[in-house]
Amino acid sequence: MRALLIQPGARHGYALARFLYQANALQRLYTDFAVVAGSLDHRLVRAIGATRIGQKLSRRVVEGVPGKFLRRYSIGSLASGRLLPRPERWHFLQRDLREADIVYAQYFVAGAQFDELTAHGARFISDVFIMPSAHRIASREAALFPDWGEAPLPPENGAAFDAISMAMFEKSHALFCPSQSVIDDVATYLPSAGAKCRLVRYGSGLNFPEPGQPIPKRVLFAGSIQLRKGPQYLARAAARIARIDPDVRFVFAGGLSPQAAEQLRAPNIELLGHVSRERMRQEFLRADVFAFPSLAEGSAGVVLEAMAAGVPVIATLEAGVDFIDGESGILVPPADADAVEAAILRIVGDRPLRSSMARSARAEFAAYDDRAWAAAFIGALREFAPNG
């Protein structure tokens, strides 16, 4: 099996390229911008690493894959941190088109070149990394919560995104979905596409060898603070809990707009803004509960990170991590502040339950570590490779 991987951006820290290389199955990684670990570009990134630009660029470092397997659209400008937009048309090496029997693309990227990519018999597999209806959900919430400063997506933009999704469902030979919620959402667009879907859960290479030191009644939310991820419902729950138990504190870690900050301003809420990776690790270790009532994801990495740290999780099915309800945390319906409130009060008010859920979350995370993820991903790809 030889896989040509098309991946704009640094999703999962280029883990899929690393898994393919380790399995001797990587034909080439095509991306918009990246630097190879140990290269001159990497040394330059490290030299400016203390700056915000350096931190941004450091996320574009490809570890564990030799440079000869990488084809990048542009290295952009390392000095300014500006990255050029992805190409309208990718330029693939003819050797790669002949030798690859799998083309694996993030959400049908380069789908306009489908015929070129599959001319030699390669199977085209799309990574459906988010619920296709996410943009609709985000627009709905923007209309419901106008004070948060998010604008609904213009109808023409939504129609264009849906057209890409439909082309992906119809043309791809397989659709790799990280959660059942994504598979179910695909079926609302095109029921027949369900037969193409494969559940290939994402994992996480994060680990917490040190034990957590949870601060009782400290509730953590992590991720970019936008309406699609449900902070508005957590804020409602926080306001109600403040009247019941003012000792419960809510911490929001992630970038946010001034309007969102204003909506979250409350005596029992702390806004950290964007934080470093190390600070984020410390926040997970200090959390008593992790609350993530997202309305639309693919598979939220922050939920896995909380589980790895041994933090009980309160999340929706739409957050995309199928943890055991009642054991590793509590599942709540989407857009339900009452359920979020009840789940938080139940866990923080029952210390034996909290301890039991923490142990279960950490144990359950073992099924999502890098080895399990790599085995599932490579195994699913071999199902479609002509030579296995």
Q: What is the mean pLDDT of each run of 10 residues along the chain (388 residues)?
A: 94 94 97 77 62 66 91 57 61 96 96 97 97 98 97 95 97 98 97 96 89 95 97 98 98 97 98 92 97 98 96 98 96 98 98 97 93 96 86
Q: Give the model's pLDDT for residue 79.
A: 42
> Which residue range forms the structural domain that includes residue 347?
218-368
The dihedral sign for the CA sequence 108, 334, 230, 59 = negative
Q: Are residues 302 and 333 in the same domain?
A: yes
Give the residue from 89, 90, 35 showing the smallest Cα distance to 65: 35
Q: Are residues 160 and 275 in the same domain?
A: no
pLDDT score of 260: 98
Answer yes or no: do 270 and 250 share one domain.
yes
Cα–Cα dist 78/83, whole Å: 8
Q: Are residues 121 and 9 in the same domain?
A: yes
Q: Does residue 76 lie within any of the structural domains?
A: no
Rounded to whole angstroms, the Cα distance separating 22 from 217 reads: 43
Q: Does one domain contain both 28 and 172? A: yes
Residues 137 and 191 in one domain: yes
**Is the same domain home to 186 and 322?**
no
Number of domains the chain is built from = 2
Q: What is the CATH number of the domain that holds 137?
A: 3.40.50.2000
Report the pLDDT value the prediction gives residue 77, as an integer from 0 to 100. Answer: 42
Other Cβ atoms less than 10 A from the Cβ of 105: the count is 24
b/e code 260-287 from CB counts within 10 Å (16+ = b)? bbebbeeebbebbeeeeeeebbebbbbb
Confirm whether 117 is domain-assigned. Answer: yes
Task: Report the C-alpha dihedral over residues 80, 153, 301, 28, rounded to 10 degrees.
Answer: -60
Give domain status of residue 52, yes or no. Answer: no
- The verdict on 271 and 142 lying in the same domain is no
Residue 224: what are its φ and ψ, rounded to 5°? -60, 135
pLDDT at 105: 97
Q: Is residue 74 part of a domain?
A: no
Q: Rg for the chain (alpha carbons), in Å?
A: 21
Q: Is residue 313 a part of any domain in this protein? A: yes
pTM for the full model?
0.91
Residues 6+ away with beta carbon under 8 Å from 144? none
Residues 244 and 363 in one domain: yes
Q: Indicate whether 42 belongs to any domain.
A: no
* C-alpha to C-alpha distances, 9 to 6, 33, 261, nearest whole angstrom: 10, 7, 27
Q: Are residues 116 and 190 in the same domain?
A: yes
pLDDT (0 to 100) of residue 45: 60
Same domain assignment for residues 143 and 27: yes
Model pLDDT, residue 37 = 73
Asked if residue 169 and residue 314 are part of one domain, the reply reads no
* Contact assessment for residue 321 and residue 304, using Cβ atoms and an 8 Å cutoff: yes
pLDDT for residue 75: 45
Contact 338, 241 (CB under 8 A): no
**Is the alpha carbon torsion for 374, 178, 319, 298 positive or negative?**
positive
How high is the pLDDT of residue 49? 62
In a domain, 69, yes or no: no
User: Is residue 63 domain-resident?
Assistant: no
